[in-house]
Every structure is written in C-alpha cells, then in structure tokens.
Amino acid sequence: MEIEVAALPATSRLDQALLRRLTAMINAGYATAEEGIWRDGTTRTDAADLARLVARGEILVARVAGRIVGAVHTRQLDATTGQFGMLAVDPVHGGLGVGGALITAVEDRCRARGLRTVQLEILTPTAWTHAGKAALAAWYLRLGYHVVRVGALGEMYPDLVAKLATPCEMVVYRKDIAPLPSELATRGLSSRSPRKPS
Ligand SMILES: CC(C)(COP(=O)(O)OP(=O)(O)OC[C@H]1O[C@@H](n2cnc3c(N)ncnc32)[C@H](O)[C@@H]1OP(=O)(O)O)[C@@H](O)C(=O)NCCC(=O)NCCS
C-alpha cells in the first residue's frame, strides 16, 4: 500500500467539502481515542479552525490511492523546534502505517527547515489509566520521543480546562532529529559516526 503525504495547499482553505470531510475524520478519531476525557459535545476541531491552519500550510494529509486517509497539524514553535498534533487516521486504514508515515513526514519537513527537535503532547487523565493513551505513549517512545515535561492542562491551555470531564495533565515529548546527509554535505560534514582508529 503506497502512502503519499503532502501539505494541503493554502487554496484548500476554500474547499468546504474537503474541510468538512477532514473535520469529520479528525473529530471521529478523537471522539473514540479521548472518550471519557471531555464533556459531551466537545470536539477536537471544526471547519473554520482547520481552514485557518490550511491557509498557513500547516496541515499535512496522507493519501492512499488518491483518497485522504489521515492528517496532522504541524507548526514551528521556536527557532529550533517543530511541533505536531491533531494526528488522526481514518479507522478503516488504521494499523497500516499511515500514522507513522505522517510523523515521518513531519520530522522530514522540520529537518528540511533546519529545525533540530520535534515536540508533541499527550493529554493524559491523572485519576485513571487510559489504555489508548498508554499505547500511544509506548508508540512515541518506540519512535524515539522522550518525556521532557509534565504540565497541568490549565498552565498550557487554560481555555480547555472547563471542557474536561476528568482531571488531566499534558505530557510533553520531544525527539532530536539529525540533519539530512545532504545538509551535512553542504557543510562539509559526514552523517556517519567517526570511525574508531584501528
Ligand atoms: C494514533 C493514530 C494516529 C495511529 O494511526 P495508525 O495509522 O493506526 O498508525 P500506524 O499504523 O502507523 O501504527 C502506529 C502504532 O500503533 C500500533 N497500532 C496501530 N493500530 C493498532 C491496532 N489496531 N491494534 C494494536 N496496535 C495498533 C502499531 O503497532 C504501531 O506501532 P509500531 O509501528 O511500533 O508497530 C490513530 O490510531 C488515530 O487516529 N487515533 C485517534 C487520534 C489520536 O489519538 N491521535 C494521537 C493524539 S497524540
């Protein structure tokens, strides 16, 4: 199965049918994955929010046979750090590597922009173990991310606290990304580890 990942062009902000489809896919994914975390009626995003992010070129989509099956939001946080969030894959195509392909694309894009670190956050209930979040955390660890900070949701997203159905914290993960070999070559360096003297 070939998975193609690309940023949506800014003009897609005007494509209402596309925005509706993407909104439905993302909200359905989060409704299942974050069941019990939010008060009824809370959704992850809406078409207007997505249109704003698409206009900035911050939404990457994964396509299989031309059909959008996954999406992620990515942006630059500071001079050296990129971030991703709102990662969602159509459940029909779940477990086939689409989520992994989207993360690889985020990391490649950050690297190509000269960034050194990629960050993500996992919203995690503090009063009970959320099996899905635990599986997500294990996956991100396997992908090379590590916890750099645990913060109260209110510290980071004060507007969201009233929408929670259960107390949660934000676990912040980061991964250092190595420069591309081509980038090193232009700087006259090698991506290989130095050989030990024989
Ligand atoms: C999390 C999510 C994006 C993963 O997408 P995906 O396309 O299924 O991801 P992949 O196929 O690349 O697999 C990701 C990992 O999860 C595991 N996994 C995926 N589907 C699984 C399933 N049905 N059962 C068990 N494990 C599964 C895989 O083992 C894989 O790990 P590995 O590559 O080390 O083997 C998707 O499940 C989703 O949209 N979830 C809802 C929204 C969400 O929670 N987003 C993340 C917020 S931080």
Q: What pLDDT, in 10s, does the model give residues 32-51? A: 999 999 999 999 999 999 99
- Indicate the pairing of strand 67-76 with strand 168-176: unpaired
Q: Is 148 helix (H, G, I), strand (E, B) or coil?
A: strand
In a domain, 198, yes or no: no
Whether 182 has a pLDDT exceeding 80, the answer reads: no
Cβ–ligand 1 distance for 29 under 6 Å, the answer yes
Maximum Cα–Cα distance for the chain, whole Å? 65
193 found inside a domain: no
Domain-located, residue 197: no
E strands, the chain, where? 4-7, 59-64, 67-76, 81-89, 117-125, 146-152, 168-176
Q: Is residue 88 part of a domain?
A: yes
Instruction: For residue 72, report the phi and psi dihedrals to the nearest 5 degrees.
Output: -150, 150
| Pairing assessment for the beta strands 146-152 and 4-7 based on DSSP bridges | unpaired
| 121 Cα nearest atom in ligand 1 | 48
Residue whose pair of structure tokens reads 């989207």 in the numeric block:
102
Q: Is 19 contained in some domain? A: yes
| Residue 157 belongs to a domain | yes
Range of the domain at 18: 4-184
Number of domains in the chain: 1
Burial class (CB in 10 A: 0-12, 13-18, 19+), 103: buried
CATH of residue 46: 3.40.630.30
For residues 180 and 55, the model is more confident at: 55
Contact 97 CB / ligand 1 (< 6 Å): yes
Q: How many CA atoms lie within 13 A of 178 on its CB side?
A: 10
* 123 ligand 1 Cβ < 6 A: no
- Residue with the two structure tokens 């606290």: 161
Lowest mean pLDDT among 101-105, 169-173, 175-179, 191-195: 191-195
- pLDDT for position 194: 46
pLDDT band at 138 (very low <50, low <70, confident <90, very high): very high
Q: pTM for this one? A: 0.91
Name the residue with the closest Cα to ligand 1, atom 47: 87
Q: In angstroms, what is the span from residue 26 Cα to ligand 1's centroid?
A: 14
Q: Is residue 141 part of a domain?
A: yes
At 198 the pLDDT is 40
SS3 23: helix
In-domain check, residue 8: yes
User: Lowest-confidence range among 36-40, 178-182, 194-198?
Assistant: 194-198
Strands of 28-167 (E only): list them: 59-64, 67-76, 81-89, 117-125, 146-152
